[in-house]
């Protein structure tokens, strides 16, 4: 693994444990591919939501006037949220269209309704909620308590979610290569999750540092 206990912050350990949950579901509980992929799609949603809050906080911190900081922050949020939400929504619809090919999911509206159905089904729900809690904890522990709000910038904040999303897709590509070679969906999911954990922990250490 790319990091040890001695080099991870508490939020890094939480991130590791939360990501191991779908891996155990894949290996031990025989989870299908769709909910595993959608759990990580939902992680992109959480990253977007926490980024919006971070942008507003930093914008207000950088200016003496709270009203001016909030107004400028909302402008940045509008453009960031528009692009990010558009891509993330299209990504979610594409996942349902490609992995759940039943006729009832042949429209964008029906695909969007399918997303919460999968994420909140028994067994999967706990992993979904744990993923949300992990990012909220990271926001509180790193951004507020450890003071990252004072060392980052709005430009950097708007860039970080896209970098993480591309690395997530790199993990999926690695898993997809193994799927093609072995014709084993479970091995594909396990390989994609391991690759995703690797990229996540490297990014976490680079962004938040050690203990």
Range(s) of the domain holding residue 110:
5-208
**Backbone φ, ψ for residue 72 (5° rounding):** -65, -40
> pTM for the complete prediction?
0.79
- What DSSP line would sit under 65-98, residue for residue? -HHHHHHHHHHHHHHHHHHHHHHHHHHHHHHHHH
Quick check: 135 and 12 in contact, CB under 8 A?
no
pLDDT of residue 77: 95
Distances (CA, A) of 158 to 58, 60, 72, 109, 148: 12, 16, 14, 28, 15
User: Does residue 111 surpass a pLDDT of 90?
Assistant: no
Q: How many CB atoms lie within 10 A of CB 10?
A: 13
* 197 and 20 Cβ atoms separated by less than 8 Å: yes
Percent of the chain's residues with pLDDT above 90:
16
Residue 83 has pLDDT above 80, yes or no: yes
Q: Count of domains in the chain? A: 1
């Amino acid at each position: 693994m790319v990091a040890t206990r001695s080099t991870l912050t508490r939020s890094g350990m939480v991130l590791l444990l939360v990501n191991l949950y779908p891996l155990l579901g894949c290996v031990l509980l025989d989870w299908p591919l769709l909910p595993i992929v959608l759990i990580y799609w939902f992680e992109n949603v959480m990253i977007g939501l926490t980024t919006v809050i971070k942008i507003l906080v930093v914008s207000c911190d950088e200016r003496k006037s709270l009203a001016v900081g909030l107004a400028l922050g909302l402008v940045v949020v509008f453009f960031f949220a528009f692009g990010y939400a558009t891509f993330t929504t299209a990504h979610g619809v594409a996942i349902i269209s490609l992995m759940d090919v039943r006729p009832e999911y042949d429209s964008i509206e029906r695909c969007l309704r399918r997303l919460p159905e999968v994420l909140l089904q028994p067994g999967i729900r706990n992993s979904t909620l744990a993923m949300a809690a992990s990012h909220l904890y990271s926001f509180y522990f790193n951004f507020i308590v450890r003071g990252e709000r004072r060392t980052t910038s709005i430009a950097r904040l708007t860039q970080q979610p896209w970098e993480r999303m591309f690395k997530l897709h790199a993990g999926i590509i690695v898993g997809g290569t193994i799927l093609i070679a072995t014709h084993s969906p479970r091995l594909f999911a396990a390989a994609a999750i391991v690759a995703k954990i690797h990229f996540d922990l490297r990014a976490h250490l680079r962004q938040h540092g050690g203990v």
